[in-house]
Structure 1
Amino acid sequence: MQSASRSRLTNRSLVALAVLNFFLADARDGLGPFLDGFLATHGWSPMTLGLIATLGGILGMIATPLFGAWVDASLRKRMLIVIPVVLVTAAALWTLASPDNASVFGGQSATAIVGAVIGPALMGLTLGLVGERHFSRQVSTNEFWNHAGNVVSLAGIYFATIAFGLNGIIGLMVLTAAATVLAVFAIDPAQIDHQVARGLAHDDGAPGPSGYSVLVGSKGLILLAVTLMIFHFGNAPMSRLIAQDFSIQLGTPFRTTAITTGVSQLSMIVMALAAPFLIRRFGLASVFVIALLALPIRGAIAGSFSSFAVIFPVQILDGVGAGLIGIATPIAAERILSGTGRFNVGLAAVMTVQGIGASLSNVVAGWLTNIGGYGLAYWVHGGVAVFAVVAFFAGYKSIAPAQKNDIGEVDALAVATP
């Protein structure tokens, strides 16, 4: 089934998938990394910004598993990307036009809820198009175009702000949302295998397990979720804090955030290009280890230096850590859940658990910043990732099983472990 799925793909659908990931980079998160810098220069405190991020995280956490099950069952996966993109863009424009309590809390709450469906929908769409065998490479390709789109968007925002101010930002948001919608509709729905998209490439006709049973009964999925929860508790607030810190220092929230985020996105592009080789040569488990170890180093550097130049090594390491984790996570979930028919709900459950860590971290980061400054928050959140490394090594063979196929992947950790 998988080879047939791949062979009947037209260039149009693959090109459209690349274009979708390119423009979705900007359209899926609304203001995204610019929100904190924008609101910080309008007098919003780190603690309040942390509460906003936490609220959004909780709402997204509640919605994500429900949307994952919806993606598994839906035969209209394209619309599960189009509708959220339109709503997220509208919420972002509302916040820009009037950054008061109603628009910020209301807009970000709406963004968190409807945006939670985009991740599972995109992964299901990708798996349904290319099949299980090619999924690992296609995830890396998706991430390459996603980060490339982010870099172009950040450069566009930087120059649009200089030339047109806030109107330039608004114009770019509308443009990227429209391009995303057009790219989605350019994908041929007839080429999406909805059975493969939910992890039933090897369907034997037996009834599939319920969503809850496959989640609770999968040791690898539980350990993956716990590892990522710890990692994201440490990682989630770091870029937000850096954006706040230097936006306040320099007084240029959009341009400063464009630079800091652009560095990490360029690093993520390199990671997306390197990931297929790293997975094939050293195994998925080794890629996880590299990603997890990047965060403690990042926190130590950010906590030790305060000059603007520090953003370069710090954000490069963000690209290594978050970039590789973003690629490795859906690949691991697909391997763990292969044949269950619950890939999307399983991936959504992992995203929910990691969202718990990310949501809690925002309030903690705000509190740490209030009592000890940004340096204290960097040290604490970077140090937390050490526990993620420990959790991963406790069950890495279940979290990141090697793929036994003709690609020839090896498990470097298994070779090195007696």
Structure 2
Amino acid sequence: MQTTSRTGLSDRSLLALAFLNFFLADARDGLGPFLDGFLATQGWSPMTLGIVATLGGVLGMVATPLFGAWVDASHRKRTLIIVPVVLVNAAALWTLASPGNASVFGGQSATAIVGAIVGPALMGLTLGLVGEKRFSHQVARNEFWNHLGNVASLAGIYAATVAFGLNGIIGLMVLTAVAAVVATLAIDPKKINHDVARGLAHDDGAPGPSGYSVLVSTKGLILLAVTLMIFHFGNAPISRLIAQDFSIQLGTPFRTTAVTTGVSQLAMIVMALAAPFLIRRFGLASIFLIGLLALPVRGAIVGSFTNFSVIFPVQILDGIGAGLIGIATPVAVERILAGTGRFNVGLAAVMTVQGVGASLSNVVAGWLTDMGGYGLAYWVHGGVAAFAVAAFVIGRESIAPPHNGDMDATAGR
């Protein structure tokens, strides 16, 4: 007999949501972190790879607020996940089969555009399923399953590469994409409250504003976006540079990237498990501060040492910083925009602005690497975090407002 949670949400949908996050870890990004290592061994320079990443970031940045408004208005949120998954994986297979200018620039551009809808769609679907009271707790659960899926995917890619080479990578990509589609379809569409999904229990019927108008009219959202823009300018290129650096040194792009990314994902799993307690005990602002402070330490370590073993503390710090920021951001947006009915478009607006930082950083990182080597790029981008910490300290009360019953770890048990 099928049981039901306190929210009236069937166990089937909760289980399907867990599986979706597990398989989406691999299916939403195509080649994801493996792209740089793979192309670096094909002769692509750091500067060119930076241009590829920047182009994708700019296209995704332009598309994201439009897609956020689309998610707010749409009653087909499952479709807004399924279609991008199919298209992103098709583009990745094209790149693997023929890594030329057309497939890399064209495929990654398409990936950036259609992939930009997955984040807002998944957050909207989650909010619509569990409601505002359980949203922050469910975000942590989503992150746990997502990072666990990343670790499983990385282990699978490592094994598939050893056993079958490139064919193993292709087979694994197809398998995870199909599994993500099946998991999405298993979520009961009748259990998604589309008013709650946009952050409004009772829709006022007004047309949703653009991402930019939401952004410029809410102080907390502006400060959050600026802080994350600076953070991602510093943080975004470091893992890419590490993948390029050690893939070239060791000549094993897929296995090297699997190890480096796997370490950070394991740390993110720990953070996802710890986040409910940390936010309940110390508050949302503390989570942001810990995440922001991890970056300068990370840049200093990787900038000081060149042996492969350095990736372990460096990527653990990545898991702490990016893991906590990834959980705290949608929770902060939901609190800032509670009752406005503009959650998804507001989250998309924040993602757009942070995308500005991430996109610009790729070209800067490529230029710094060409000019002074990987070490210079690590030091500069790690040092940028000091400005993100300062921006957060100035606006912390608006960025991370307190909430009664912060992350009740017993909710829904």
TM range (shorter): over 0.9
Q: Distance in 2 between matches of 1:20 and 1:35?
A: 23
Q: How does 1:10-409 map to 2 (within 5 A)?
A: 10-201=10-201, 203=202, 205=204, 207=206, 210-211=209-210, 212-405=212-405
Q: Distance in 2 between matches of 1:112 and 1:210?
A: 23
Give the structure-1-normalised TM-score.
0.95
Q: Distance in 2 between matches of 1:5 and 1:205?
A: 28
Preserved CA contact (<8 Å) 2:137 2:408: no
3-state SS of paired residue (2:132):
coil
3-state SS of paired residue (1:134):
helix
Q: Distance in 1 between matches of 2:19 and 2:33?
A: 21
How far 1:65 sits from its partner (Å)? 0.2
Alpha-carbon spacing, 1:204–1:368, altered in 2? closer, same or farther (3 Å)? closer
Q: Distance in 1 between matches of 2:182 and 2:313?
A: 37
Preserved CA contact (<8 Å) 2:199 2:340: yes
Preserved CA contact (<8 Å) 1:140 1:327: yes
3-state SS of paired residue (1:18):
helix
Preserved CA contact (<8 Å) 2:303 2:376: yes
3-state SS of paired residue (1:340):
coil
3-state SS of paired residue (2:133):
coil
Preserved CA contact (<8 Å) 1:128 1:194: yes
Preserved CA contact (<8 Å) 2:279 2:406: no
Alpha-carbon spacing, 1:76–1:6, altered in 2? closer, same or farther (3 Å)? farther
3-state SS of paired residue (1:372):
helix
Preserved CA contact (<8 Å) 1:299 1:379: yes
Preserved CA contact (<8 Å) 2:214 2:349: no
How far 1:216 sits from its partner (Å)? 1.6
How far 1:210 sits from its partner (Å)? 2.9
Q: Distance in 1 between matches of 2:167 and 2:217?
A: 51
Preserved CA contact (<8 Å) 1:95 1:107: yes
1:214-252 CA distance string (max 9 Å, x none): 322100000000000000000000000000000000000
State the AA in 2 paired with 1:157.
I
How far 1:116 sits from its partner (Å)? 0.1
Q: Distance in 2 between matches of 1:130 and 1:74?
A: 18
What do you get for the CA RMSD once the two structures are aligned?
1.5
Q: Distance in 2 between matches of 1:27 and 1:10?
A: 25
1:249-295 CA distance string (max 9 Å, x none): 00000000000000000000000000010000000000000000000
Alpha-carbon spacing, 1:80–1:5, altered in 2? closer, same or farther (3 Å)? farther
Q: Distance in 2 between matches of 1:64 and 1:389?
A: 25
How far 1:8 sits from its partner (Å)? 1.6
How far 1:356 sits from its partner (Å)? 0.2
Q: Distance in 1 between matches of 2:71 and 2:205?
A: 21
How far 1:50 sits from its partner (Å)? 0.2
3-state SS of paired residue (1:401):
coil
Q: Distance in 2 between matches of 1:27 and 1:408?
A: 31
Give the structure-2-normalised TM-score.
0.96
1:7 alignment partner in structure 2? 7
Q: Distance in 1 between matches of 2:259 and 2:148?
A: 14
Alpha-carbon spacing, 1:5–1:127, altered in 2? closer, same or farther (3 Å)? farther
Alpha-carbon spacing, 1:51–1:405, altered in 2? closer, same or farther (3 Å)? same
Preserved CA contact (<8 Å) 2:203 2:341: no
How far 1:404 sits from its partner (Å)? 1.8
State the AA in 2 paired with 1:324.
L
Preserved CA contact (<8 Å) 2:69 2:209: no
3-state SS of paired residue (1:7):
coil
3-state SS of paired residue (1:120):
helix
Preserved CA contact (<8 Å) 2:280 2:406: no
Tell me the matched-pair count.
405
Q: Distance in 2 between matches of 1:342 and 1:20?
A: 24
How far 1:132 sits from its partner (Å)? 0.3
1:22-44 CA distance string (max 9 Å, x none): 00000000000000000000000
How far 1:308 sits from its partner (Å)? 0.3
Q: Distance in 2 between matches of 1:390 and 1:86?
A: 41
Q: Distance in 2 between matches of 1:344 and 1:183?
A: 22
Alpha-carbon spacing, 1:266–1:207, altered in 2? closer, same or farther (3 Å)? same
How far 1:406 sits from its partner (Å)? 7.7
Alpha-carbon spacing, 1:39–1:353, altered in 2? closer, same or farther (3 Å)? same
Structure 1 consecutive aligned stretches of length 4 or more whose deviation exceeds 2 Å:
4-7, 203-215, 405-409
State the AA in 1 paired with 2:152.
V
Q: Distance in 1 between matches of 2:6 and 2:241?
A: 43
State the AA in 2 paired with 1:282.
F
Q: Which moved more, 1:6-15 or 1:169-178?
A: 6-15
State the AA in 1 paired with 2:239.
S
Q: Distance in 2 between matches of 1:407 and 1:391?
A: 25
Percentage of pairs with the same residue: 80
Structure 1, unpaired ranges of 5+: 410-418
How far 1:207 sits from its partner (Å)? 4.4
